[in-house]
Amino acid sequence: MKLYNTLSRQVEEFIPHEEGKVNFYTCGPTVYHYAHIGNMRNYVGHDVLDKTLRYLGYEVTRCMNITDVGHLTSDSDSGEDKMSVASKRENKSAMEIAKFYTDAFFEDFAKINCKKPEIVSPATSNIDMYIKMIEKLIKEEYAYISGGNVYFDISKLDDYYVLTNHQEDQMVVGAREGVEEDSNKKNQADFALWFTTSKFENHELLWDSPWGKGYPGWHIECSGISIKYLGEYLDIHGGGVDNIFPHHTNEIAQSEAYLGHKWCNYWFHNEHLLDESGKMSKSKGDILTVSVLEESGYDPLAFRFMCLGSHYRRQLVFSYDALKQAQSTLNKLRNRISKIETTGEIDKEKFEVYNNKFKEELENDLNTSNALTVLYEVLKDNELNGSTKLELIKNFDKVFSIELIKEKEVDSSLEEYINEKIKERSEAKKNKDYTLADSIRDELAAKGIKLIDTKDGTTYEI
Ligand SMILES: [Zn+2]
């Protein structure tokens, strides 16, 4: 598989540390507010990568954090903790805020058919890990204590700006938007690992540490959680393009200083979804979420379909016109597929030809729009029988996840009838009346209902 790697700034052959296995980390949401559809586009990109890797046969272990402490209003350690801001805004405790917005996040996540990572861990559950890391970083002089806080000293590294190709070191840190000068820092790009002092009083979430009562910085969370759950060698780390600097730059610095070796080989970044006025953000009044789209009558999967139509490394502009268009195309597609009859045996040779084409498009840095073109080719191919078409579509949808084949609903009276027959048949078998048992099975088979006997009882397929 070929994947664009932000670290090398080129499309590269993907080679995991251990053959056939992938450790994959995704930066999760900061749960101080709803995640808008721009955030969700990023998670669709990660979900497509996750499902593509599985489709290609890799064994994937994916981990995601939930930031419920330490992310300040500026990504560069200035301002107030976002959780505290939300607590004041909604007059709730930080943990109540975290619970509410974590649930809301996963609700929207499920609506767009994103698969929950195997490991999801809140930042507040791993404080011991951050303390262990920071202690080692101080001992090895990568970190220092100043004005009560612990900072990472970026001058101790040869290549702090490796991920940004040194574009950031040209900038005067104090001049960047939202960045305040911090007189405690030796270098202005140094970043906080642990806070014990803050100009904002009454920080709710505090833990004991060797440096005093305080709370972790945002960046150490992802390094700590990733190393704790996925080990010292990470295959893929992903996030939105806005995470490249400073968040991922800082993650590399502290993780590699802590481990003493290279940490992650591939950095995967999704481009922004813009609204018509520019960058989508939470600060411009109403937050446009997947649930809001659904309440307005749109299928959340039309939003996912819209994302699949564009490459993850291209900016995408959201408009209701574009969403309406996506909804109508998706409806037509599903309608067309619903008319395909299961005819003939699956043609294995033709199945492989199209399946390989589909895989090739995804293996080419996740070219989802070309993969959709393969789907249309399958639909148009008159030589292909219905069974082969449906089998291909069913498989493609493991990655697309847009419910191309709607399961036919079983009506309840039919269900009742089948269950009654299953009961009669097991009764007959118990009485050793195999003729009756077989005739019940045949009666159902004639109606297209296949019985399946398992050690836990009998189930059926229509
Ligand atoms: Zn992160």
Low-confidence ranges of the chain (pLDDT < 50): 173-175, 178
Residue 311 confidence (pLDDT): 97
CA–centroid distance, residue 67 to ligand 1 (Å): 8
The C-alpha atoms of residue 346 and residue 136 are separated, in whole angstroms, by: 59
CA–centroid distance, residue 398 to ligand 1 (Å): 27
Tokens of 125: 């559950």
Greatest Cα-to-Cα distance within the chain, rounded to the nearest angstrom: 89
Chain centre distance of CA 268: 12
CA–centroid distance, residue 223 to ligand 1 (Å): 8
CA–centroid distance, residue 149 to ligand 1 (Å): 21
CA–centroid distance, residue 55 to ligand 1 (Å): 26
Residue 140 confidence (pLDDT): 97
CA–centroid distance, residue 403 to ligand 1 (Å): 30
CA–centroid distance, residue 244 to ligand 1 (Å): 10
CA–centroid distance, residue 27 to ligand 1 (Å): 4
CA–centroid distance, residue 64 to ligand 1 (Å): 8
CA–centroid distance, residue 22 to ligand 1 (Å): 18
CA–centroid distance, residue 238 to ligand 1 (Å): 8
CA–centroid distance, residue 186 to ligand 1 (Å): 24
User: What pTM does this model have?
Assistant: 0.86
Residue 171 confidence (pLDDT): 60
Exposed e or buried b for every residue in 227-255, given b needs 16+ CB within 10 A?
A: bbbbeebbbbbbbbebbbbbbbbbbbbbb
Question: Read out DSSP for 190-249?
Answer: -EEEEES--SSS--S--B--TT-SBEE-HHHHHHHHHHHHH-S-EEEEEEEGGGIIIIIH
Residue 285 confidence (pLDDT): 60
Residue 74 confidence (pLDDT): 76
Residue 174 confidence (pLDDT): 46
CA–centroid distance, residue 226 to ligand 1 (Å): 9
Sheet with strand 234-240: strands edge to edge = 119-122, 59-66, 21-26, 234-240, 264-270
Tokens of 138: 């101080």
CA–centroid distance, residue 239 to ligand 1 (Å): 7
Cβ pair 179, 74 in contact under 8 A: yes
CA–centroid distance, residue 146 to ligand 1 (Å): 24
Distances (CA, A) of 87 to 18, 105, 160, 203: 44, 18, 35, 10
CA–centroid distance, residue 247 to ligand 1 (Å): 6
CA–centroid distance, residue 224 to ligand 1 (Å): 10
CA–centroid distance, residue 28 to ligand 1 (Å): 7
CA–centroid distance, residue 252 to ligand 1 (Å): 11
